[in-house]
Amino acid sequence: MELALPEFDYLRQTVYELSSIIIDPGKEYLAESRLSPVAHEEGFASVQELLARMRQGTSMPLRQRVLDAMTNNETSFFRDVAPFEALREIILPEIIASNSRDGQLSIWSAASSTGQEAYSIAMLLDKYFGGLPGWRVKILATDISTSALQRAREGRYSQMEVSRGLTQEQLKRYFSNEGAEWKIIDSIRSMVEFRSLNLFDSWDAIPPCDILFLRNVLIYFEVEKKKQILAKVRSILKPTGYVLLGSAETTLGLDDGFERIQCGPISYCRLKRS
């Protein structure tokens, strides 16, 4: 049974309050299909019953489960290819040269979903830069979805997931086969630290950043919220740092503190330099 409008509006409002994600009107069918398994597993007869319980006040774990189900965790290894080519060919060589004196590199995969983005960065650093021996390399990966983070930390992927973006050579080198799954090897897994973070909460615990992957998450927010995030990006990014957005995302018209660098099919941003 499809959700009635008041129930759907309550869900949209709740998700917005928890994450600032906008769920478009008319997506009742989506909500119903994503929440049905949660309702079932939590012992409710229907999604309607689950939402009714939430309305009466409920524990944070249940609200978090509902939020997790409503986030879009679509991702893949080396997603869109070009950002990772830009990282390897232009961005990393430049940052490594400018940071060579202190030997530190800080990369943040914000909205990391199930971890493919952060592990792609780690594999690239390993393969093309030998893991930067003698450097202090930090790859931080954060997301608001507890279930996505749990999967990311485990580093186990299905055949379908590894077939999206990985070559046979990468699969052989960086994963071990465990039954129907592929597990990322420990040396790559340990390069990434996963943490829970709502991008609208404080970034005080995030270190100054050389490279920020902020890909395919701004699209879920309204203009004012995108502006808030970009202002925070300006404060966390080192003066020589870079931001990579998703292919449908831009800073244009939102924040003129950034300049865009176009490099073939990919554009990336840095703080305006005088």
Piece of 42-50, 138-146, 184-192, 255-263 that binds ligand SAM (CB under 6 A)? 138-146
CB 126 within 8 A of CB 268: no
**3-state DSSP of 225-260:** HHHHHHHHHHHHEEEEEEEEECCCCCCCCCCCCEEE
The mark string for 21-60 relative to ligand SAM (x by CB under 6 A, - otherwise) is x---------------------------------------
Quick one: 106 or 113, whose CB is closer to ligand SAM? 113
Query: Candidates 49-57, 122-130, 165-173, 216-224 — which segment interacts with ligand SAM by CB under 6 A?
Result: 216-224
Residues facing 105 on adjacent strands = 137
Q: Which 3 state secondary structure label does DSSP give 63? A: helix
79 sits near ligand SAM (criterion: CB under 6 A): yes
For residue 80, give Cα distances in angstroms to 23, 165, 218, 266: 25, 9, 17, 9
**φ, ψ for residue 46, nearest 5 deg:** -160, 170
For residue 14, state whether it binds ligand SAM (rule: CB under 6 A).
no
Binds ligand SAM by CB under 6 A, chosen from 96, 154, 220, 227: 220
Q: Kindly list the strands in the beta sheet with 209-214, ordered across the sheet, starting from the edge strand earlier in the chain.
A: 192-196, 136-143, 104-110, 209-214, 237-245, 266-271, 258-263
The reply on whether position 111 binds ligand SAM by CB under 6 A is yes
Q: Does 161 bind ligand SAM (CB under 6 A)?
A: no
Contact residues for ligand SAM, defined by CB under 6 A: 19-21, 71-75, 79, 111, 113, 117, 143-145, 148, 198-200, 215-217, 220, 246
